[in-house]
Amino acid sequence: MRLALYLLLSLAVLVIALICSISFGVTDISLRVVWDSIIHGGTSNEQLIVRTARLPRALIAGAVGASLAVAGALMQAITRNPIASPSTVGVNSGATFFIIVAGAWFGVSGLHAFTLVALLGAAISGTIVFTLGSIGRDGMTPVKVTLSGAAMAAFFASLTQGVMLTDGKMFDQILAWLVGSVAGREMSQLAAVWPYMAVGMVIALFLPRHLNVLAMGDDIAAGLGQRTAHIKVLAAAAIILLAGAAVAAAGPIAFIGIIIPHIVRYMVGTDYRWILPYSAVYGALLLVAADVGSRYIAMPKEVPVGVMTAIIGVPFFVYIARKGRTRHG
Amino acid sequence: MGKYQTFRTSKVSFLIEKRTVWISLILLVLCIVAAIISAGSGGQPISPLNVIKVLLGGGKPMDQVIIEKLRLPRIVIGVLVGASLAVAGAVLQGIIRNPLASPDVTGVTEGASLGAVLFIFLFGGAVSIHWMPLFAIAGALLMTALLYVLAWKRGVEPLRLVLVGIGVSAAIKSVSYMLIISGPMALAQRSLTFMTGSIYGTSWDKDVMTLLPWVLILLPLTWLQARNVNIQALGDDVASSAGARVQRQRLLLIALSVGLAGAAVAIGGAIAFIGLMAPHIARKLVGSSFGSVVPVSALLGALILLVADVVARTAFLPNDVPAGVLTAAIGAPFFMYLLYRNRNRS
């Protein structure tokens, strides 16, 4: 009951953050105008800014933040690895590489096509990393998964840079996207990715009970009658949908998938029925807030929000790595 | 005559494994062959025979210009950068006792990249490029110091160092990207090439003369530390009971490794995976004694980069693909193979 109440409260805070994100920026826009332009439309400058720039940006930040956080929570659940997240296991960089190759070499264009390509990249890179990380007698250890993730990330990053350098016309378009940013997005971009995110979220919705059982260990879960392989495959599908769509919309934004599940576990304990919804809300909140903050650091220029989350995220990552639990997984 | 040859003077004595000498000689020959091929290939092909003529001081004047002014500095840089990265990786793998460690995985090269990118952006062309290694090494050192502090918990445990490195390097990388985005486009292209790693367009006085002193000082120094690396490889407990000052030696060795990696990155950019691959192949060839691993991995590193550079600049003509893309393309599958090989190592 208490947790439900807090969740509602957090949701309210998220709504306030979204409104702030629409209203604050290089031109501050009053709340009344914001409300007006969303409900009634209108063609004044401010109303146009709200509808074509601020609103899509806020919504994409929210959707991407929620997706990455839930993907991170799922990943940490099925691998029982506290430092797993879409960015550390190379899923983000795989999706990035595929998008850039598709754009530069195969002339792919259009948001829907890019989203599908990103999903494919996320799936391939994720499969490689997890296969590599789980071979061997002691199974999937955090260290193995993290190392193979880092290697894949380095691999895709150099290939991405190689493609960019040989293809001049992609260069400037892609560079800004490569850091992860939600600036200058349009509503159509959200329209292209949200169905995938929604499917991923719905799959995630059915998993919490099973994840709670799985948390006791593969053997125990199997002994209790769970088909652990099914659950893991479902969770992996959700992760790929969520992370791939998030990258297609905003570029590889790092560390949300790792920070949020940890904060949430600290708040609500180990029950995934609470961890997943809380992760979604706080992931959205963090990215929306970081995005608002990114407008004020170097005003009137903007710092890409991906840089913000990386800088916020590192202390967390270090803290988790230092706790030493990582060693024996 | 046994497996070893002994050298003795009044002050020092050491053993040299004959196998190491042979393998080094073979690798040296391979390097020379690769260099000759590299000098002959490109937009204006020159036959190996003519290359040799030029190298011996003869040949056509046109060939002379192309080889001496354009291709030879590139080859020399390839050798120096490859060797430095390889030895830097060998040291890290020795002391971290994890075969998967290398300057790129732990983020030392990211730190060096950031230093160099900062240099490009702060000074553009205003300050002589000779200062760039200083910035790159400073970046690598700061990064390493940060890593060391963050991973310190009653001593530095190797695995924690690697994990912390992965996290910090992700953040450093995004800061580099941010600098690139915020600057003018021409600098952006240059910086990004740099972050990928390329030995394109290197010259004698700018690049070779900048890098050479660092390599000439640091490489022999590292070789002299071979004993300490061997002891560290036994594990902290054994090493300290054998009388080694584990943490202090580790600090010195890391400093050497950082210096080599930083200097190499300053000139060649963040060329990936050479620091990982070369020491492994070296250990396969001559065993794990560090005195043998250093020269053999240096030669292997040089060879890998020379070959990667030739392929990268001829296979995709007219595009000159950065060599770093190619080393990553070979290196990542190699890394996966290593993970597979070490699957049962805890």
Higher confidence at residue A35 or residue B73?
B73
On the 0-12 / 13-18 / 19+ scale of CB atoms within 10 A, A43 is exposed
Section B326-333 average pLDDT: 83
Does the pLDDT at position A108 exceed 80?
A: no
User: In this structure, are residues B98 and B284 in contact, taking their beta carbons and an 8 Å threshold?
Assistant: no
Does the pLDDT at position A51 exceed 50?
A: yes
Section A110-139 average pLDDT: 82
Does the pLDDT at position B329 exceed 90?
A: no
Q: What pLDDT digit, counting tens, does each position of B291-314 carry?
A: 888 889 999 999 999 999 888 888
Average pLDDT for chain A:
82
Sign of CA dihedral A137, A138, A142, A143: negative
Which of B75-89, B127-141, B160-174 is modeled with the greatest confidence?
B75-89
Instruction: Indicate the DSSP class of residue B130.
Output: G
Does the pLDDT at position A104 exceed 80?
A: no
pLDDT category at A278 given cuts 50, 70, 90 is: very high
pLDDT category at A328 given cuts 50, 70, 90 is: very low
pTM of the prediction? 0.80
Query: Are B329 and A155 inside 8 Å of each other by CB?
Result: yes
Q: What pLDDT digit, counting tens, does each position of A210-255 carry?
A: 888 888 877 888 888 878 778 888 888 899 899 888 988 888 887 8
Does the pLDDT at position B19 exceed 90?
A: no
Q: Which of residues 147-206 of B touch A (CB under 8 A)?
A: 150-151, 153, 159-160, 162-164, 166-168, 170-171, 173-175, 177-178, 180-182, 185, 188-189, 192-193, 195-197
pLDDT category at B125 given cuts 50, 70, 90 is: low
Percent of chain B with pLDDT over 90: 7
Supply the pLDDT for residue B124: 67
Section A177-201 average pLDDT: 84
Q: What pLDDT digit, counting tens, does each position of A16-35 carry?
A: 888 888 888 777 877 777 77
Does the pLDDT at position A326 exceed 60?
A: no
* Prediction ipTM score: 0.73
pLDDT category at A329 given cuts 50, 70, 90 is: very low
Contacts of B51 (CB under 8 A, 6+ apart): B36, B39, B40, B63, B67
Which of A265-274, B38-47, B221-230, B331-340 is modeled with the greatest confidence?
A265-274
Question: Which of A258-262, B16-20, B291-295 has the least mean pLDDT?
Answer: B16-20
Higher confidence at residue A169 or residue A151?
A151
Supply the pLDDT for residue B189: 74
For residue A304, give the chain B residue with the closest CA.
Answer: B178
Q: To probe the interface with B, which of A125, A165, A255, A317 has the most B CB atoms within 10 Å?
A: A165
Q: What pLDDT digit, counting tens, does each position of A140-163 carry?
A: 676 777 778 877 887 888 788 778
Query: Are A318 and B192 inside 8 Å of each other by CB?
Result: no
Does the pLDDT at position A172 exceed 60?
A: yes
Section B123-139 average pLDDT: 76
Query: Are B178 and A155 inside 8 Å of each other by CB?
Result: no
Does the pLDDT at position A202 exceed 90?
A: yes
- Pairwise CA distance, residues B218 & A160, whole Å: 33
Domains detected in chain B: 4-344 (1.10.3470.10)
Q: Which of residues 167-186 of A touch B (CB under 8 A)?
A: 171-172, 175-176, 178-180
Domains detected in chain A: 1-323 (1.10.3470.10)
Section A36-59 average pLDDT: 80
Nearest to B343 among A136, A150, A326 (CB): A136
CB burial of A304-328 (b: ≥16 within 10 Å; e: otherwise) equals bbbbbbbbbbbebbbebbbeeebee
Query: Are A254 and B178 inside 8 Å of each other by CB?
Result: no
Give the A:B interface size as CB pairs under 8 Å: 163
Supply the pLDDT for residue B316: 73
Closest CA to B16 of B217, B286, B281, B284: B286
Higher confidence at residue A137 or residue B259?
B259
Which of A55-69, B139-153, B215-229 is modeled with the greatest confidence?
A55-69
Does the pLDDT at position B345 exceed 70?
A: no
